[in-house]
Structure 1
Amino acid sequence: MMQPPRRTAIIGAGALGQQLAQHLRQTASWQVAGFFDDWHTTSSGAEPVLGKVKIADVAAAYAASQFDNLLLGIGYHHMGRRQQLFEELSAAGVPFAQFVHPAAYVDASATLGPGVFVSPGCVLDLNVRLEANVLLYPGCIVAHDTQIGAHSILAPGVQLAGRVRVGERCFLGVGTTVIDSRTLVADVRTGGGAVLVHDANAPGTYVGVPARHLPLSAAPPDPLSPESY
C-alpha cells in the first residue's frame, strides 16, 4: 500500500527555505507542511508560515500533528545558529528529516545523519558519512571514505576526494576542490574555486589555488535578518 507523503516543515521562509521546499515539491513522497520564520508572515509558495522560530512553539505545532519532521533553511552566514536550533529542537523531541533528492546518487554504504539534505546532481561514493544537519547544494561530489562534520554546508559543485575529513560548521564555497586525505578543522570556510592541497589546520577562510589561509575575523557575526532565513 502506498504510504502518505512525509509532511516536512522548514525553519526559514527565505531564499534557502524556498529552495529546499522546491526540491521537496518535486518528490512525490514528500510534502511541504509550511514554514517557521521570524521575519516572513507569508511564503512565496503555496504553503503557510506556521509561526515564529520559537522552540516551544515549534514543538507544540509538532505535538499538534501540523508536521511530521523538520529541515533547517538557515544559510552559511549563521552556522552557529544552525547548530543551536538543531540541538535545541532535537532536545525538545522534534524529529528532523533526512532528504535525498531522487536525482542524486547515494551509495548503499553511505551513512546520513538526521537533518541531512542532499540536492539533485550530488554523488556520495563508497562509505561516505554525512553527520547531522549537513546541507549539500546541487552537484557536489563526495568520494569514498570521506566524512563531513555536523552542521556543515557545501555550496554547488564542491568536489571532495577520498578520505577527506571536514569538521563541524564548515562552509565550502562554490566549486571548492579538496584533494585526497586532507583534514579540515571545524569552522573552516573556503572561497569560490579554492583548491585545498594541504590540511586546513586553523579556523578561518581559505582562498585561491592552491588555497591560502586568511585568519578568522574578529568582527561579530552578521545580525539575523530576513535574509538569514
Structure 2
Amino acid sequence: MKFIGRNASSPNATRWDTFEKLIPPEQTPPAERKWQQRYQKSPSFLSLHLGVKADTLPTGTECHHILLEDWNRMEDPEGTIFVSIPTLLDPALAPPNHHIIHTFTPSWMEDWQGLSPTEYQHRKEAAAGRVIARLEKIFPNLSAHLDYQEVGTPRTHRRFLGRDDGTYGPIPSRKLKGLLGMPFNRTSVPGLYCVGDSTFPGQGLNAVAFSGFACAHRVGVDLGF
C-alpha cells in the first residue's frame, strides 16, 4: 500500500511528482492524464515576514488586506499583494508593542533560477523593497519601523516544503463545474492512495485536513475496518 501526500503546506509530493516520477508516463492511468489536462500548477509566492513596532499600524487597521493598483496585472508576478496581521487577533504572537505582518505576492520559479548566492540575495532584497514601498500606501513609513525582515522565494518553498517549482498547488486550467471535478483519494493504481491539495476539496489547510480524514476513512473501508 502506497500513500502520496499533497499538502499545501507540508513537505510532500505533488500529483505531478506522483504520476510523472513514481510511475512511467506510458503507465499513467487515463483518469490522471485527464486531471493533468484540467489543472495546472499555480505560481509560488514571494513571502515577507515582518516584525514592526505597534505604532506602525494606523488605529482601526484590519487583519487582512489585498493591495492591487492595476486590475490588468492581477495575475502577474508581484501584481497582487496579500497581507495578514495575525497579532491583531492574538497579540501574544509577538513581543509587547510589536506586530507581525505576513505579506506575499505571486512569483514564478523561473525568475529565481540561475543566480549566484550574491545575485540571489540582492534580488530578494530588491523584491522586498518593492513590496514594502507599495505597502507604505496603507502603512505609512513602514520601512522606518521594521524590527525584523525575512524573505522567502519560490526556491524557499521548493526547498523547505518540497513543492514542485515551489507551487502553492493546482488550479483549474479552464472553467470547471465546481470542486467535484477534483479526484478523491483512490487512484487507478491498486494500493496507491493520494491525499492533499490536488484531491477534493483542494487547497488550504482546512481542505487538506478534510482530504486526510477522507483518505483515512477510505483506507479503513478498503481494509474492512
Structure number with higher helix proportion: 2
Question: Higher relative contact order by CA 8 Å / sep ≥ 6: 1 or 2?
Answer: 2
What TM-score do the two structures reach when normalised by structure 1? 0.19
Which structure has the bigger radius of gyration?
2
- Please, what TM-score do these two structures have when normalized by structure 2? 0.20
* Structure with the higher strand share, 1 or 2: 1
